[in-house]
A and B are shown apart, each in its own frame.
Chain A
Amino acid sequence: MNRTGRHKTTEEAADNVLLDRLQRTAFEYFLQATNAQNGLIADTTREGSPSSIACVGFALSAYPVGVEHGWIDRADAVRRALVCLRFFMDSDQSGGPNATGHRGYYFHFLDMHNGKRVWLSELSLIDTALLIVGMLMAAAYFNAETPDEIELRRLADALYRRVDWRWAQRDGAAVTHGWKPECGFLHYGWEGYSEAILLYVLGLGSPTHPLTEQSFLTWTTTYQWENLYGIDHLYAGSLFIHQFSHAWVDFRGIRDAFMREKGCDYFENSRRATFVQREYAIRNPRSFTGYSAECWGLSAGDGPSVEPRLVAGRHQAFYGYAARGVPYGPDDGTIAGSSMLASLVFAPDLVLPALRRLIASDVSNSDELIHASGFNRLVREGGQNGWVSQDRFGLDQGMIVLMIENHRTGLPWRLGRASPYLRAGLRRAGFRGGWL
């Protein structure tokens, strides 16, 4: 072996160690931030954080990964999943202001202890989809003929079948964002490409209350295919949009009508979106500290909530928790480190060098720039790393676990491919080719 080859092998080994460490730390979030009585998972590490149903979905998706790596034994994982599924099956579905759900959907935020709605949150379609896909993943993985695993599969199936997707189709074919007991359906619609593709696939695949095929076509009518920075892609500004559905659905080589027209697929599109993010950071139009070809990742997450200040002569506001994006912002210099890592599967050639650089620059030696929900090097009062979110978010940890796993073994994708519901949903959305 020549020197370059040896160097490469050493680097690969170091990368594997690093990825293993990051993935395991992320996985442990789900073991710690849970209520063993009902399986709910806290939204964040913040004191008193309620449960986010999306985080529960990530936990259910992550348990199989933990079992495979030996971070949790199978019986423990099954027990955790089962407690959770039993809770949702028995939950209050009346749709009242203090209920847990309605028509098979669940409120976005639930009390960690009693599982009732908190924060006047909405009955959330996308978060229900993230929860349900986690149930289907767990059901696909825990396939043993033991009483617990049989019950787990039965519950997951029943909970999926219970969701009344068709009910959320308002104004003809369009699907709403959510519903509240206080005001009925929210009048936000899904406009432009987004993580909702998972919601549509699940909704279309339902054998009981399916969305109409027209709903997907109506939504994709709002897509914008753009050439930006010389890169042709299906545009969405915030990086997480290009990642979320891809944690479960292997979009490599399968195409719907839109992607057939454009000669692309959603996986390749996410790869291109990663390049767009990097191009933006190189341009760094607002001259923010820290942005570079190896430091990018504008996505949804926490950011500083400090008073506006002058940055490069300009009054710069700070947005706290926000869905940041490129190229039009919002951008206040905050990077979501986990979002960069979650693009690993699409563009390892971009992500690995950036990851090494980010870890090397972390003066705390704690990997906090990856696990914390955002960091901002403009705001220096946080310490030597600049401002770093004090909180870890379950969604970020879930994406780290699943996307590293897709990169390493493809397990979440294999589970997704094995789901008859996801396959049916993809076919009804017009996907053809490849593994489908």
Chain B
Amino acid sequence: MFQIHEAMNHPCEGVHDHELCANARPPTWRNPTPCERYHLLIVGAGPAGLVAARGAAALGARVALVEQHLLGGDCLNYGCVPSKTLIRSSRLYADMRNATHFGVRPPDRIQVDFPMAMARVRSIRARISRADSAARLAAEGIDVFFGTARFTGGDTVDVEGTRLRFKKAMIATGSRSMLPTIPGLAQAGYLTNETVFDLTALPASLLVIGGGPVGCELAQAFARFGCRTIIAHDEPLFLPREERDAALLVAEALASDGVEIHLNTKAMNVRVEGAKKIVETINDGNVATIVVDEILTGIGRVPAVANLNLEAAGVAFDPDGGIQVDDFLRTTNRRIFAAGDVCLEHKFTDTADASARIVVRNALFLGRQRFSALTIPWCTYTDPEIAHVGLYVRQARARGIPIKTFTVPMHDVDRAIADGEEGGFVKIHVHEGTDTILGATVVARHAGEMINDLSLAMVAGIGLSTIARVMHAYPTQAEAIKKAANAYTRTRLSPWIAWLLRRWINR
């Protein structure tokens, strides 16, 4: 059982937050007078909503975009952008501490300035918000409405008392943090990914509950800022969906950054003593107590379907799985589509973006694009990063697909050695006996950059033979991919062909 955490309205403090608000939710904004009927009405202006609005408007559609909080959604305000920004600062502190590894004398004293890092988060968030400001969207012909949208029928929505009619609609309200129901947690107070970036002072100690991607990323970042960080995860390994080696490498990385790791550990209850939060945990029947200043929960996401009055529109949903859609992203109301976290298992910005593009084609232009045809990469931004695309080995084997993996450890890649970034690997899974790529996992400091090569290859139907023929700039870390392809071509040298070649050379 989980309860929904209601997203906070973001506080508007300081020059950067003022700029963010001016772009993402202008205080003086007046909702436009609606047109008679919109070609496409979009509820939610996160990555999916923005992409669909822009795409449809550029093609001449009349578009309404309704946002309850801030334009940009989770990604810009509470998710990818602030967390990656904070991670960058924390990575530099880690590099400073490891300076000798790079042949550099470390600073005599490393003084962490957390407020400075957080100011940078706010500045970068504000800067990125310029691209999708309300004013720009309006200039592109999109009617931007701020307020709460409620469906009042199969083709109408009410926004703060104004009725909007649509031919087609897209629901892209995203998702919310999912909180574990731990007795005492609510009373003790906690941080989520939606509030953690509002911190202005570094807590002395932090318990992260949940070892999924968000939990691992933030636990490592806070530890690198010098916060005593503990992570408790109710499974034997972090990142349960990733392959074991990847999860083990991340566990080792977290441990070397000083994160105290409690696997197979469940938080049972929380109480407050003075300024401290006391968390009782259980591991294989052993009860222990953890005392911290703050608790961060990042255990997962649930679709944001509350208050939309979906019943009035005939849109079926369930609180855990979100809005029901078919492979064309159409809901149970044929006029209404959905995109992004609110309806998808893969809750990623890139997937939200791709699904929104499908909706624009399918909703407005009689498209028949299937969501299942997408090749979806993802990345966890720990250090090293873990990126994956396509099938995992266990998925392929469960489906009876013969699969073989070409593995190149990063310690075999010259540039990774030169960069002092040898931790990790490239694993490319092919259909046994062919060069067809079924999937890949990359663990490397820049795995997120490297996985794109492999996504491209999969979408374009490029196999390892072709990759082996593509010159890769030397020295680069992505050369690991070429090395895996070279390993494939070596396996094609059967004893018979090798014999022929020897005969030819010695003729």
> Which of chain B's residues have a CB closer than 8 A to the CB of A120?
285-286
- Bound-state Cα–Cα, A221 to B248, Å: 20
> Which of chain B's residues have a CB closer than 8 A to the CB of A182?
284-286
CB distance from A130 to the nearest CB of B (A): 21
> Which of chain A's residues have a CB closer than 8 A to the CB of B432?
225, 261
Judge whether A317 and B491 touch: CB under 8 Å.
no
A227-B407, A315-B256 as given contacts; A222 in contact with B394, CB under 8 Å:
yes
CB distance from B247 to the nearest CB of A (A): 10
Judge whether B490 and A230 touch: CB under 8 Å.
yes
Q: Report the stretch among B71-79, B139-147, B175-183, B396-404 that lies at the interface.
A: B396-404
> Which of chain B's residues have a CB closer than 8 A to the CB of A310?
100
> Which of chain A's residues have a CB closer than 8 A to the CB of B409?
228, 285, 327-328
Judge whether B427 and A226 touch: CB under 8 Å.
yes
CB distance from B411 to the nearest CB of A (A): 4
A283-B412, A313-B100, A315-B98 as given contacts; A186 in contact with B407, CB under 8 Å:
no
- Smallest Cβ-Cβ distance to B248: which chain A residue: A328
- Which residues in window 259-295 of A have CB below 8 A to B? 261, 283, 285
Q: Report the stretch among A187-195, A371-379, A425-433 that lies at the interface.
A: A187-195
> Is B244 on the interface with A (CB-CB < 8 A)?
yes
Judge whether B98 and A180 touch: CB under 8 Å.
no
Chain A at the B interface: mostly helix, strand, loop or mixed?
A: loop
> Which of chain A's residues have a CB closer than 8 A to the CB of B67?
none
Interface size range of chain A in the complex: 35 or more
1/0 per residue, CB under 8 A from B, across A222-257: the answer is 111111111010010100000000000000000000
- Which residues in window 384-427 of B have CB below 8 A to A? 393-394, 397-398, 402-407, 409, 411-412, 422, 425, 427
> Is A420 on the interface with B (CB-CB < 8 A)?
no
> Which of chain A's residues have a CB closer than 8 A to the CB of B97?
315
> Is B27 on the interface with A (CB-CB < 8 A)?
no
A221-B397, A317-B255, A328-B425 as given contacts; A226 in contact with B101, CB under 8 Å:
no
Judge whether B407 and A283 touch: CB under 8 Å.
no
> Is A306 on the interface with B (CB-CB < 8 A)?
no
> Is A314 on the interface with B (CB-CB < 8 A)?
yes
> Which of chain B's residues have a CB closer than 8 A to the CB of A122?
284
- Which residues in window 473-507 of B have CB below 8 A to A? 487-488, 490-491
- Smallest Cβ-Cβ distance to A258: which chain B residue: B397
> Is A329 on the interface with B (CB-CB < 8 A)?
yes
- Smallest Cβ-Cβ distance to B243: which chain A residue: A224
A191-B244, A317-B256 as given contacts; A232 in contact with B235, CB under 8 Å:
no
Judge whether B398 and A226 touch: CB under 8 Å.
no
> Is A1 on the interface with B (CB-CB < 8 A)?
no
- Bound-state Cα–Cα, A237 to B243, Å: 14
- Smallest Cβ-Cβ distance to A285: which chain B residue: B411
> Which of chain A's residues have a CB closer than 8 A to the CB of B397?
220-223
- Bound-state Cα–Cα, A183 to B264, Å: 12
- Smallest Cβ-Cβ distance to B397: which chain A residue: A221
Judge whether B284 and A285 touch: CB under 8 Å.
no
- Bound-state Cα–Cα, A146 to B352, Å: 76
> Which residue of A188, A227, A237 contacts B406 across the interface (Cβ within 8 Å)?
A227
- Which residues in window 258-305 of B have CB below 8 A to A? 264, 282, 284-286
Judge whether A187 and B264 touch: CB under 8 Å.
yes
Judge whether B407 and A226 touch: CB under 8 Å.
yes
Judge whether A232 and B491 touch: CB under 8 Å.
yes
> Which of chain A's residues have a CB closer than 8 A to the CB of B285?
120, 180, 182-183
> Is A330 on the interface with B (CB-CB < 8 A)?
yes
> Is B249 on the interface with A (CB-CB < 8 A)?
yes
1/0 per residue, CB under 8 A from B, across A94-129: the answer is 000000000000000000000000001010000000
> Which residue of B256, B264, B407, B422 contacts A285 across the interface (Cβ within 8 Å)?
B422
> Is B252 on the interface with A (CB-CB < 8 A)?
yes
> Is B107 on the interface with A (CB-CB < 8 A)?
no
A183-B285, A285-B422, A329-B252 as given contacts; A224 in contact with B405, CB under 8 Å:
yes
> Which of chain A's residues have a CB closer than 8 A to the CB of B286?
120, 182
1/0 per residue, CB under 8 A from A, across B92-104: the answer is 0000011011110
CB distance from A120 to the nearest CB of B (A): 7
> Which of chain B's residues have a CB closer than 8 A to the CB of A229?
412
Judge whether B252 and A188 touch: CB under 8 Å.
no
> Is B236 on the interface with A (CB-CB < 8 A)?
yes
- Smallest Cβ-Cβ distance to A183: which chain B residue: B285
> Is B245 on the interface with A (CB-CB < 8 A)?
yes
- Bound-state Cα–Cα, A145 to B75, Å: 77
- Bound-state Cα–Cα, A18 to B409, Å: 36
- Smallest Cβ-Cβ distance to B396: which chain A residue: A221
> Which of chain B's residues have a CB closer than 8 A to the CB of A328?
245, 248-249, 409, 425
Judge whether A225 and B405 touch: CB under 8 Å.
yes
- Smallest Cβ-Cβ distance to B402: which chain A residue: A261
- Smallest Cβ-Cβ distance to B411: which chain A residue: A285
Determine which residue in A182, A220, A226 has the highest number of CB atoms from chain B within 10 A of its CB, and name it.
Answer: A226
- Bound-state Cα–Cα, A237 to B407, Å: 13
- Bound-state Cα–Cα, A229 to B490, Å: 12
1/0 per residue, CB under 8 A from B, across A327-370: the answer is 11110000000000000000000000000000000000000000
> Which of chain B's residues have a CB closer than 8 A to the CB of A222?
393-394, 397
Judge whether B100 and A186 touch: CB under 8 Å.
no
> Which of chain A's residues have a CB closer than 8 A to the CB of B407?
226-228, 235
Judge whether B487 and A230 touch: CB under 8 Å.
yes
1/0 per residue, CB under 8 A from A, across B347-374: the answer is 0000000000000000000000000000
CB distance from A317 to the nearest CB of B (A): 6
Judge whether A330 and B252 touch: CB under 8 Å.
yes
Judge whether B405 and A227 touch: CB under 8 Å.
yes
Determine which residue in A120, A235, A313 has the highest number of CB atoms from chain B within 10 A of its CB, and name it.
Answer: A313
- Bound-state Cα–Cα, A328 to B249, Å: 7
> Which of chain B's residues have a CB closer than 8 A to the CB of A283?
411-412
- Smallest Cβ-Cβ distance to B399: which chain A residue: A221
> Which of chain A's residues have a CB closer than 8 A to the CB of B394?
221-222
- Bound-state Cα–Cα, A120 to B394, Å: 33
CB distance from B421 to the nearest CB of A (A): 12
24 contacting pairs across A/B (C-beta < 8 A): A180-B284, A182-B285, A183-B282, A183-B284, A186-B264, A187-B235, A221-B397, A222-B394, A227-B491, A230-B487, A232-B404, A235-B405, A283-B412, A285-B411, A285-B422, A313-B100, A314-B101, A315-B98, A315-B101, A317-B256, A327-B425, A328-B245, A328-B425, A329-B252
**Interface, chain B (partner A; CB < 8 A):** 97-98, 100-103, 235-236, 243-245, 248-249, 252, 255-256, 264, 282, 284-286, 393-394, 397-398, 402-407, 409, 411-412, 422, 425, 427, 432, 487-488, 490-491
**Interface, chain A (partner B; CB < 8 A):** 120, 122, 180, 182-183, 186-188, 191-192, 220-230, 232, 235, 237, 261, 283, 285, 310, 313-315, 317, 327-330
- Among all A-B residue pairs, the 9 with the closest Cβ atoms: A182-B285, A285-B411, A183-B285, A226-B405, A313-B100, A221-B397, A228-B407, A313-B101, A327-B409
